[in-house]
Chain A
Amino acid sequence: MASYRDYLAWERLPHLWCAGCGHGVILKALTLALAALEVPPDKVVVASGIGCSGRIGDYVTTHRFQGTHGRTLAFATGIHLARPEVKVICVMGDGDAAAIGGNHLIHAARRNVDLTAIVPNNLNYGMTGGQFSPLTPPASISSTSRQGKAEPAFDICHLAVVAGASYVARTTVYHVTEMQKFLQEAILKKGFSLLEVLTPCPTYYGRYNALGEAAQMLEWLNRSVIPLARYRQMSGDEARYWWRGRLVDREAPDFLSRLKGAG
């Protein structure tokens, strides 16, 4: 039986993330999911972008790839096509995945490349000091929106569904068991899977928006999400919540199968 310990580079700890940062919880869930699935570490590539979350590769015993900001899915497409037997798990912050990498996300989902994309959504750019991202809720305070963010946000999960992803889900680091379950499903899924994980950045988003310390932020996250089925029945109140759950889980040929079929 594999243990999560086998996937963690213990000698690299403590990690560089702030106290209470959710990125560590996601790292743990990932190692637990890999152990549960018993994927050998040398058959996994953790590919990440640039940002606090992008440092995840420094703490795993699997293969690791850290590309340029926003381009992870494009690199990963090449890795996957060259080594289809290896699980490529991409970890990209909300800035990385939704802003600079938005186009790559659309096309990786459209091609249905057999990759797993994890988007730790901490509602801001952590690494660069708490500026707003495309996923930052409107009116939020950030280091570049002191009066409240003027732009709207968008739902990256719905984007992935419309683009063609095979599996799309959202949860939070509060919901640890659900996170691990969704992760396992996403990793096993043939085709493009995306899991958005709402996660606290107490250092910036939490502080700017007076949401308290890590524990209070987790409480706040828990209060701010409702299960997808209930969300769908809401009328009028949706803007105050995030839904959580499995948005899509469907079968469709993945990119490499299509390529080989056409060849």
Chain B
Amino acid sequence: MVILILPAKTGKQRHIAIHLDHNLCKRCGICVAFCPQGVFVTGDDGYPVVAATEKCTGCQLCFYRCPDFAVEVEVDK
């Protein structure tokens, strides 16, 4: 789980939390492959790792596409 604060385009601050649950993740690589911002990389153990937190736009695509309910992105406006 990673919590970051980043300046959004509006200049306002957004709090984004990406939760990754290793108990549910099956290492399919879908989140890594399809994040439009390249937020994830694949770790040595095959699990996704949040590598570029500041790039996350909160688009939720990783959440929708994860078949295993293992990733959630929380966006506070």
Contacts and interface: CB of A to CB of B under 8 A. Distances in A.
B68 A215 contact: no
A17 B26 CA distance: 10
Given A14-B68, A218-B34, A19 B27 contact: yes
Given A14-B23, A176-B61, A215 B28 contact: yes
Interface in A4-22: 8, 10, 13-15, 17-22
A10 to B, nearest CB: 8
Contacts of B58: none
A108 B42 CA distance: 46
A87 to B, nearest CB: 22
A186 to B, nearest CB: 18
A246 interface: no
B24 interface: yes
Given A14-B24, A19-B27, A176-B61, A215 B33 contact: yes
Contacts of A176: 61, 64-65
Nearest to B29: A215
Interface in A205-239: 213-215, 218-219
B69 A28 contact: yes
B67 interface: yes
Contacts of B66: 24-25, 28
Contacts of B23: 14
Interface in B1-58: 23-24, 26-30, 32-34
B26 A20 contact: yes
Contacts of B27: 19
Contact of B30 (A32, A177, A214): A214
A122 to B, nearest CB: 12
B8 to A, nearest CB: 21
Interface of A: 8, 10, 13-15, 17-25, 28-29, 32, 173-174, 176-177, 180, 202, 213-215, 218-219
16 contacts: A14-B23, A18-B26, A19-B27, A20-B26, A20-B28, A21-B67, A22-B67, A23-B67, A25-B64, A28-B64, A28-B69, A29-B64, A180-B64, A215-B29, A218-B30, A218-B65
Given A25-B66, A32-B64, 17 more contacts: A13-B24, A13-B69, A14-B68, A19-B26, A20-B26, A20-B28, A21-B67, A24-B69, A28-B64, A28-B67, A28-B69, A176-B61, A180-B64, A213-B29, A214-B28, A218-B65, A219-B33
Interface of B: 23-24, 26-30, 32-34, 61, 64-69
